[in-house]
A and B are shown apart, each in its own frame.
Chain A
Amino acid sequence: DAMVIQNPRYQVTQFGKPVTLSCSQTLNHNVMYWYQQKSSQAPKLLFHYYDKDFNNEADTPDNFQSRRPNTSFCFLDIRSPGLGDAAMYLCATSNRRNGNTEAFFGQGTRLTVV
């Protein structure tokens, strides 16, 4: 009964080759987030969607983009991955209808850049 599902769990990509990570949710939450977590560091918010509204963090590099085609799915696109983009990428959801819920996280996708 997984609620926030990230695919794949592990992704290897070549330096400079575009890569897409995916996230789906069965919670019908209206907010979806992407966090980047480098080794031994705290997760860092890249951006989030509030319904269809996209909100980018000020320090998120342009290399990172996101798409949310519907409520259930959200994608993270890295246009030209560099070695410094190797990290765990965490998708999360929360709900802001009739009150607020805490964030629910997926299991993450570990990205390796070679």
Chain B
Amino acid sequence: GNSVTQMEGPVTLSEEAFLTINCTYTATGYPSLFWYVQYPGEGLQLLLKATKADDKGSNKGFEATYRKETTSFHLEKGSVQVSDSAVYFCALSDWNTGFQKLVFGTGTRLLVSP
């Protein structure tokens, strides 16, 4: 079945450091890929998405490129801020069953210190 694998956290960085959070997936067909962010005690917010191979999703300085050849969707940001501290979930959607069922990775906690 479909699955998403994320790097384990926590990822601890200093402010203005470069961020990469790795995400790889296994899926049949051509899923859409997402990064969601969850701040403490809150629900999930969509950060960015990509719906086909080679698409780049971007938002708030974060970027991720849909790489079909490596089945990856790594999240990057050039300069993190303390306010970026949160849990980041990579996810894919399964269109095969006719609805957008999200399959999530286990999440990666990011801690940014001043």
A48 contact set on B, CB distance < 8 A: 99, 101
User: Which of B60-68, B70-78, B104-112 contacts its partner?
Assistant: B104-112
The answer for the CA separation of A100 and B42 in the assembled complex, in Å, is 25
The answer for the CA separation of A107 and B44 in the assembled complex, in Å, is 7
Q: Are A94 and B89 in contact (CB under 8 A)?
A: no
Q: Are A31 and B99 in contact (CB under 8 A)?
A: yes
User: Which of A13-21, A39-47, A61-69, A78-86 contacts its partner?
Assistant: A39-47
- Size category, A interface: 20 to 34
- Size category, B interface: 20 to 34
Q: Are A103 and B106 in contact (CB under 8 A)?
A: no
Q: Are B102 and A45 in contact (CB under 8 A)?
A: yes
- A90 sits at the interface (CB 8 A): yes
- Can you list 21 A-B pairs, Cβ within 8 angstroms, ordered by A? A4-B43, A31-B99, A31-B100, A41-B106, A42-B105, A42-B106, A43-B102, A50-B98, A50-B99, A55-B99, A94-B100, A96-B100, A100-B95, A100-B100, A102-B32, A102-B93, A103-B102, A107-B43, A108-B42, A108-B43, A110-B41
- A binding-site residues for B, Cβ under 8 Å: 4, 6, 31, 40-43, 45, 48, 50, 55, 88, 90, 92, 94, 96, 100, 102-108, 110
